[in-house]
Each structure stands twice: as C-alpha cells, then as structure tokens.
Chain A
Amino acid sequence: MLILGVETSCDETGLALYDSAGGLLSHVLHSQVDLHALHGGVVPELASRDHIRRVIPLLDQLLQQTDRRTAEIDGIAYTRGPGLAGALLVGAGVARSLAWALDRPALGIHHMEAHLLAPLLEPEPPAFPFVALLVSGGHTMLVQVAGVGRYRLLGESVDDAAGEAFDKTAKLLGLGYPGGPALERLARQGRQGVFRLPRPMTDRPGLDFSFSGLKTQARNLIRRHEGTEDAAADIAHAFQEAVADTLAIKCRRALTDTGAGRLVVSGGVSANGVIRTRLDDMARAANAEVYYPRLDLCTDNGAMVAYAGWCRMQVGECDGLDFDVRPRWSLASLQPPAAD
C-alpha cells in the first residue's frame, strides 16, 4: 500500500511516500524559514501563499525521486489540523482533490498524532504503550499513548510552547528568527552556573508546563546585564538548562505516573542536543528507553503524515469529499483506526 503524505500546517511544505512493504521511500520538504525571518516570525498569509506554489512541484520531485507515478498511489493523507487555517487548506485542497481525481481514498490527519508516531518510522521503533513528549514551536505536551488513536493528554503548556519561548528569548538576545538553533549554538559558549533561571511548575504536582515566565526572566537578565561581555551566552545557557531540566523533570514524572518504560520525543525542539542529552540521562536513571525520530523528521514533514495515514488507512479508514480543516483540534478526541 503506497501512501502519499502532505503536510502544510505551518511554515514547511512537506510531502512523502510511505510504502507498507518498503517503508519510507522518500520525503521532500520546502522550508519557508527565510521568507518569515524577514518578519521575525511566521506570517500566516505569506505561509499560505508560499504553500500553494510548492505542493505540486514537490510532488513531482517526490515521484521522480522514487520513480513512481500518481496512478500507483493507493491513498492520500494530509494534515487536517491543528495549525494555521489558510496553510492547512492549501495542502488539504490539493491532496483531497488529487485523491478524487485518482479515485483513491483520502484521510485528514492530526498533526500531533503524526509527530508522536514519527519515531515508529525508525529501524528500531518503540512498542506501545509509551509516553510521548511533543515539543515544538507550537506545542508542548505529554501524552500517554496506548496505541494508534488511544491518547490521553497528561499535560501541556498553559502559555508559550517551549519552542516559542526559545524563539522569543533568542529574539531578545538579538539572534534573529528562528532563534532556537542559534540560541543552542550561543549557549555552548555560556558558562554553567553564572545565572540560574527557575524550572517552572516543577515545584508542584502535575504535568503542565509554563514557559512564558522563563522568557520574561531571561528578558530581565538581558536588560540588567546589557553590555556585559559574555552575558548573552551565559543567559542563553541558563535558559536552555532551565528548559531542558523542566522537560526532563516532567517526563520523569510522567513515566512514573503512568508506569511506562518508554518515552518518545518528537517535534522541532527535540532536535536540541542539550535537551536530548538531559532526557537520555533522565531515562537512564529511570530505567526507561527514549526514542527520537531522525533529525530531519523531528520538525514538520510529510513522512510522518504519510505514516500516520498508513496506520489508519490500512484498516480502511477514510474521509468523505470535504476537506474542512481543524485549526484547533484536541489530540485526545481521536479514536483508534476504524474502517468507514
């Protein structure tokens, strides 16, 4: 079964072909990061305008790379939400109408489900059940995963997502957009222990996160030490340490609370090396295993959508002819795959 995946929920246009026999055949991606960098953040209308220029050329590139034709596609999965409405509609519109033209089934996929299933594309995938930490510019959440479509939300950010806090703090440090990777590089030059920022919401029970206060405290430090040599690197270091520790503390708590022995970490922030190391250390101490997707599948991509699509479409699940998108969509509301 050959599934085409189409992802356009934010600022990456991603397409991929997943084959039930051959695995992930290829995935192609166009990042709009340069387009939005000029504006210091994602401009939704610009994102939509770019997606519609990219989807078909990327599809052609994908088919050429894999030496496949559209007629060989058995089903088309696209991101239905959550995300930017206008951006989602482009991928949904192209994907759903392409499926209609080919007389193939189509299915709208939950973006966060795609992220949490992405590590299952790896050679040694985690078995169910597991706890998933989904951490990106748009989301920070802990989810108990019993199987495909069997999700219980354990906790989520009550304000900024971790990646958002990274980007905002990076901007305060004058690192441009997107600032996450730049902040990580700067933090390498920072010294341990010069500054200490709090580990938000770790001193009370529960698995929710809050990162906006951390960003505010970083801003206060930046103001106080403006002009001080090395302060920026030290602040970046302190900020990253605080986020890494917070995520590790909450993940450990989630593993304990659920009794799970496996942690899956996905989303753009999971590409951060310090966070990975901290989570690895935590898991070792907790006698648990951690699974990440490969680096290029941590950020938004079509491969995870194609794979999530296959997980559901293999049992016959598919949508009707509408391609309404769901910019806000609760992950916990999903159901296990079922034939329609």
Chain B
Amino acid sequence: MSTADTPVIIALDACTEACSVALTTGGNVFSRHAVIPRGHARELLPMLDGLLAEAGVSRDAIGLVAYGRGPGAFTGVRISVAVAQGLARGLGCPVIGVSSLQAVADVAGRDAGPHRVAVAIDARMGEVYWGLYERLEANQPLKLRDEEAVLPPAAVTLPTGWTEWQAAGTGWAVHSQALLAALGTAPARILDQALPDARCLLPHAVAAWRNGTLENAASARPVYLRDNVTG
C-alpha cells in the first residue's frame, strides 16, 4: 500500500463478536483484533489507545477514520459508528464507512489473486446478511456484485457462471446446510470463522481518500439491512 499521499488513517470495527482496530502510517500497518462478544464498549478505545502508543503516533496526527458500518449486531454496529462519529468530530477529520460483508470478503481474499467470495454473516432470526464479492483481475479490490441483502438461507442465489468460489462468514457456520442446498453447488473452501478485521478497512480508506469519497462525522451512519424492527 503506497501511502505517500495519505495521512495517518485509523480503522475500527465492532459490528460482530470481533472487535478490531488498525492504523496505517508511512506504509506501516499496526492492528489489534479480539473476539469479545459484549466487550466492545469496554475494550475498543483502550485497544485504539494502545495501538497509537505502539505506532508512536499522536492522536492529532490522525487524518481519516474508517469504520465498520454494518451489517451485523445492531448494538455493535452502533458502537462502531458512534465511536467513529466521536473520534472524527473531536479530531476534525473525515470518516469512511466500510461494509462488514466487504470486510469478511477481504479477510477471505487477502492474497491479490482472482477471487469470488460468497459472504454470509449470521443475522439471527433464521436469516443471513448476504453479499457476493468478486475480483476479476489481480491486484484489484474485491467488489460487491449486486446488492447486500438480509434473507433466509433458503433464498440465496449465485450468479450463473460462478465457479471456483469461496464461502466466508459466520452465516456459513450456522446455516451451511441450508445455504448449500439453496445454491446447489459447493464452494472451493468454507471460512466459516471469518470475522471482519479493521485491517481490511484500511485499503478502502486509502482508496476513498484518493477518490475524495469521504463523509463527515455527522453523516456516518449504520447500515442495518434489517429495517423492519417493530415486528
């Protein structure tokens, strides 16, 4: 990641049972990742504080905050967004939200080769958060194909011609049978423990910085996908 033209960027994610922070400065990347269900409010800022100390970066050097914007556990998604809002407003810097589904796809497709990743994050209530990501040329980012969705495992589909694909995300641990039955085809491998990692947000933040597609603190918003919550 060439960073000559980018500021110090921090990334954070609390959208699932994982809690993670990452930082890039001058081409170096620092990160912390912990699986701590219900521990995010307790650990997120200490993790970030420790990361800055480790990297020898002062907080006023931070120029961009990337955050996991969901979907995921509603409370975790809001912790992620609330902290991004508070940090960005206090630091006077922009923010960029990155999908949790994208972050899981990035964990699965970390090497730069071609990939197709079907991401399913357990959404409880018998549903999954679902997103299909593909990288058709080497060294390009994994890109979302179609739209993210929340749906029952039996309702998922793959585009025609999808071969050599991978499955990733906790939805595959909870609903693998139903997902495979619905798709009628098996993935090359299943990474059903893959969780979002703030490290994976950094390249998206760099790209957004270069493209100027940034948000301000007030416009940082969660993406829940599940919007009917009044039953």
Contact = CB atoms under 8 A, between A and B. Distances in A.
Contacts of A324: 41-42
A30 B113 CA distance: 50
Contacts of A90: 78, 82
A55 interface: yes
B86 A46 contact: no
Interface string B36-52: 00000111011011000
Interface string A23-67: 000000000000000010001011011001101110110000000
A321 B49 contact: yes
B131 interface: no
Interface in A82-130: 85-86, 89-103
A97 B82 contact: yes
Interface in B58-90: 59, 74-75, 78-79, 81-90
B218 interface: yes
Nearest to B219: A56
B218 A321 contact: no
Contacts of B79: 89, 93
B79 to A, nearest CB: 5
A43 B229 contact: yes
B78 A48 contact: yes
Given A97-B82, A102-B90, A53 B45 contact: no
Nearest to B216: A56
A211 B74 CA distance: 34
Interface residues of B, number: 32
Contacts of B78: 48-49, 52, 86, 89-90, 93
Contacts of A320: 46
Given A45-B74, A57-B218, A94-B85, A325 B90 contact: no
Given A322-B43, A322-B45, A323-B45, A98 B75 contact: no
B107 interface: no
B23 interface: no
Nearest to A55: B85
B217 interface: yes
A70 interface: yes
A56 B85 contact: yes
Contacts of A101: 59, 86-91
B82 A70 contact: no
B221 A46 contact: no
Contacts of B217: 56
The contact size tier of chain A is 35 or more
Contact of B229 (A45, A91, A92, A95): A45
User: For chain B, what secondary structure do more than half of its interface residues adopt (helix, strand, loop), or is it mixed?
Assistant: helix
A92 B90 contact: no
A296 B80 CA distance: 32
Interface centre among B59, B79, B224, by most chain A C-beta atoms within 10 angstroms, is B79
Interface centre among B59, B74, B85, by most chain A C-beta atoms within 10 angstroms, is B85
B89 A93 contact: no
Contacts of B224: 49
Nearest to B84: A97
Contacts of A321: 45-46, 49
A96 B90 CA distance: 10
A43 B230 contact: yes
B97 interface: no
Contacts of A322: 41-43, 45-46
A98 B40 CA distance: 16
Contacts of B90: 70, 97-102
A103 B59 contact: yes
B222 interface: yes
B43 A97 contact: no
Nearest to B83: A97
A294 B88 CA distance: 34
Interface in A218-235: none
Nearest to A85: B75
Contacts of A49: 78, 222, 224, 229
Contacts of A56: 85, 89, 217-218, 220
Contacts of A86: 74-75, 78
Nearest to B42: A322
A155 to B, nearest CB: 33
16 contacts: A46-B230, A52-B81, A55-B82, A56-B220, A57-B218, A86-B74, A86-B75, A93-B83, A94-B83, A94-B86, A97-B83, A100-B48, A100-B87, A101-B88, A103-B59, A321-B45
Interface of A: 39, 43, 45-46, 48-49, 52-53, 55-57, 59-60, 70, 85-86, 89-103, 320-325
Interface of B: 41-43, 45-46, 48-49, 59, 74-75, 78-79, 81-92, 217-218, 220-222, 224, 229-230
Cβ-closest 10 pairs across A and B: A101-B90, A93-B82, A97-B86, A98-B86, A321-B45, A56-B218, A94-B86, A322-B42, A97-B83, A98-B90
